[in-house]
Chains A and B, each alone.
Chain A
Amino acid sequence: GGIITQTPKFLIGQEGQKLTLKCQQNFNHDTMYWYRQDSGKGLRLIYYSITENDLQKGDLSEGYDASREKKSSFSLTVTSAQKNEMAVFLCASSIINERLFFGHGTKLSVL
């Protein structure tokens, strides 16, 4: 078996701050994803990457950057945190597109 590790688990930022979330997987999966989860809005795709150094925008990419420098890691940057923003960011990886393996999430709060 494998595991997806997201760091940090909790992230508190200030308005306008640049914040980086990290994700590591040891499944050796090619494809990795970043989803944002808001209460009542489900999971929305921010970025995904089908291989090392590849980046594809999802529906919610504005305000975010991503980086996939190694097959095992995928990072997400909030370019300018919005005041009172609160959401959970979920990283996932897959070898078959139907079955995504998710991490436990990073919970973001912006003061």
Chain B
Amino acid sequence: GDSVTQKQGQVTLSEDDFLFINCTYSTTTYPTLLWYVQYPGQGPQLLLKVTTANNKGISRGFEATYDKGTTSFHLQKASVQESDSAVYFCALVYTNAYKVIFGKGTHLHVLP
């Protein structure tokens, strides 16, 4: 079945470091790809989304690109801040479907 894979369970960085969170997907067609962020004590919230039409999503300094060749959707940010500490989930959803498929999440810890 369709799936998303996040191999990094935890990432620890210092402020102003470059962030790269790996995500790959396995599907038979081309879904919408999503990144959700979950801050401590809260539910996840949508950070950005990318479709095959727009190819790249950018939000709050984070960006991700839809790469059909490598079936990847990595999340990047040029310079992280302590306030970016959270759990980041990669996910996919098909048009006209209700089920959002989430990855296992990557816990980002940014040191001051």
Contact = CB atoms under 8 A, between A and B. Distances in A.
Given A43-B89, A48-B98, A97-B98, A92 B105 contact: no
Interface residues of A, number: 24
Prevailing SS type, chain A contact patch: strand
Prevailing SS type, chain B contact patch: loop
Interface of A: 4, 31, 35, 40-45, 48, 50, 56, 58, 90, 92, 97-105
A24 to B, nearest CB: 14
B102 A50 contact: no
A99 B46 contact: yes
Interface residues of B, number: 24
Interface of B: 6, 9, 32, 34, 36, 41-46, 49, 89, 93, 95-100, 102-105
A9 to B, nearest CB: 10
Given A97-B93, A100-B46, A42 B98 contact: no
23 contacts: A40-B104, A42-B6, A42-B89, A42-B102, A42-B103, A42-B105, A43-B105, A45-B99, A50-B98, A97-B93, A97-B98, A97-B100, A98-B34, A98-B46, A98-B93, A98-B100, A99-B46, A100-B46, A100-B100, A101-B43, A102-B42, A102-B45, A104-B42
